[in-house]
Structure 1
Amino acid sequence: MVISLPVSVSIGLVEREVDESVFSLMRRADRALYDAKSSGKNRYAMAAPLWSVEEGALANFNAVIPVGHHT
């Protein structure tokens, strides 16, 4: 018997800055995840580098995640 279960995913991506604390890294990843979720299903968002934007801003790198098939 095969069971089909639809799955969607939202992802917040972040690249650690030199000397960045784990707290700051996780906060930026959480904000990126929130941005991805607020953009719709099956999306990801990349957190902007600390030096390039004001606190709390995210880079506009949202994209639809291609649908894949698991065999």
Structure 2
Amino acid sequence: MGTEARHLVSVAVGAELERAGRSRHWLADRAGIDARRLSEALHGRDDFTVADLAAIAAALDVPVSALTPSADPPHR
């Protein structure tokens, strides 16, 4: 995943986590992701896998698409 895409995904995951009012430790436990690796991915230093995003989406009760925003601005 490129740097820009990694950033967009980490921001989206962080925003959904904040919206849910849950902690990173809660998410790591609920999604079955190592807490340190989750932290690295949330800071944009590691990639989320497709399996990570599916588990995170399920834990936060959001569609996976909420965690994978488009890098392209909408066309008008």
- Which range, TM-score by smaller chain? 0.3 to 0.5
- Whose helix fraction is larger, Structure 1's or Structure 2's? 2
Q: Which has the higher contact order (CA 8 A, sep 6+)?
A: 2
The TM-score normalised by the length of structure 1 is 0.37
The TM-score normalised by the length of structure 2 is 0.35
Rg larger for: 1
- Whose strand fraction is larger, Structure 1's or Structure 2's? 1
